[in-house]
Structure 1
Amino acid sequence: MRESVITTETIANPKSRYGSANASTRHFITQRVTGAINILFLALLLFIVVRLAGQDRADVVGLLGRWWIGVPFAALIANVAIHMRNGMRDTLEDYLAGSMYRLAMLLNTLFCLAVALLGAGAVLKIVFWG
């Protein structure tokens, strides 16, 4: 099948349909919800940064090792990775198309997944195994 070409006339015509309405709505809601959650987690992040300013590794492990600080911090890292993926998706959609867009989105997704797994995993390791 031939991919349809989206032109400025297609976009300007209010009766034309292109893209997935469900995927676009899900993307919009996910971006807003993760952004709001990031704002809520900002107090935790500020507490951790201020509390650990000038401290050594033992103090970092001691603070992050408390489950009521470490587990929400790991959730913050995962949430930021989801928000980062969606934000980069917007940029990639603006500047890339076709197979280059699909490759860039794959790399973006893999990078954000690695950040989430490694970051949250490291914090959870400190919480549960010291």
Structure 2
Amino acid sequence: MRETVVTREMIANPKTKYGRAKAATRHFFTQRVTGAINIVFLGLLLFVVLRLAGQDRTDMVAVLGNGFVGLPLAALLVVVTVHMRNGMRDTLEDYFHGDLYRLLMLLNTLFCILIAVAGVAALLKLVFWG
């Protein structure tokens, strides 16, 4: 499969089509929606941080083990990792191309999945098993 090299002239010409328009729109929409959700969840996160300030482990387990706190925090963690992956994708697209870009995107995706799975598993363990 041969890659098309995008030149400055192609980008400057508004009639030139390059890239996948639907993928770019989905990426733009996802980045905005996850950013908005992060802002909404910021209140919950601030509540948890302020509630746990100066508390011992028993109080932490009690607060995070509450389903009304732990489950939204697990959802927040998933949304944050999706937002993080998309943000890193923007940076990687700007500076890397070809096989190196694909490798770095794979590593970026795997890292985000690892963070999400580990964090959600820890929160679910606290919520359901204390």
Task: Please confirm whether the aligned pair reaches a TM-score higher than 0.5, indicating the same fold.
Answer: yes
Report how far residue 2 of structure 1 moved.
Answer: 2.0
Report how far residue 75 of structure 1 moved.
Answer: 0.5
For structure 1, which runs of at least 5 residues remain unmatched after alignment? none
In the TM superposition, what whole-angstrom CA distance separates every residue of 1:40-59 from its partner, at most 9, and x where no partner exists? Answer: 00000000000000111111
For structure 2, which runs of at least 5 residues remain unmatched after alignment? none
Find the counterpart in structure 1 of residue 46 from structure 2.
46
Alignment of 1:49-88 (within 5 A): 49-88=49-88
Alignment of 1:1-130 (within 5 A): 1-130=1-130
Secondary structure at 1:106 match in 2: helix
RMSD (Å) for aligned C-alpha atoms: 0.6
Report the TM-score when normalising by structure 1.
Answer: 0.98
Report how far residue 121 of structure 1 moved.
Answer: 1.1
Report the TM-score when normalising by structure 2.
Answer: 0.98
Report how far residue 13 of structure 1 moved.
Answer: 0.8
- Structure 1's consecutive aligned runs of 4 or more residues displaced over 3 angstroms after TM superposition are none
State the distance in 2 between where 1:87 and 1:120 align. Answer: 21
- AA matched with 2:120: A
State the distance in 2 between where 1:102 and 1:39 align. Answer: 30
Identical aligned pairs, as a percentage?
67
In the TM superposition, what whole-angstrom CA distance separates every residue of 1:73-130 from its partner, at most 9, and x where no partner exists? Answer: 1101111000000000000000000000000000000000000000111011100011
In the TM superposition, what whole-angstrom CA distance separates every residue of 1:20-58 from its partner, at most 9, and x where no partner exists? Answer: 000000000000000000000000000000000011111
Q: How many residues align?
A: 130
- AA matched with 2:96: L
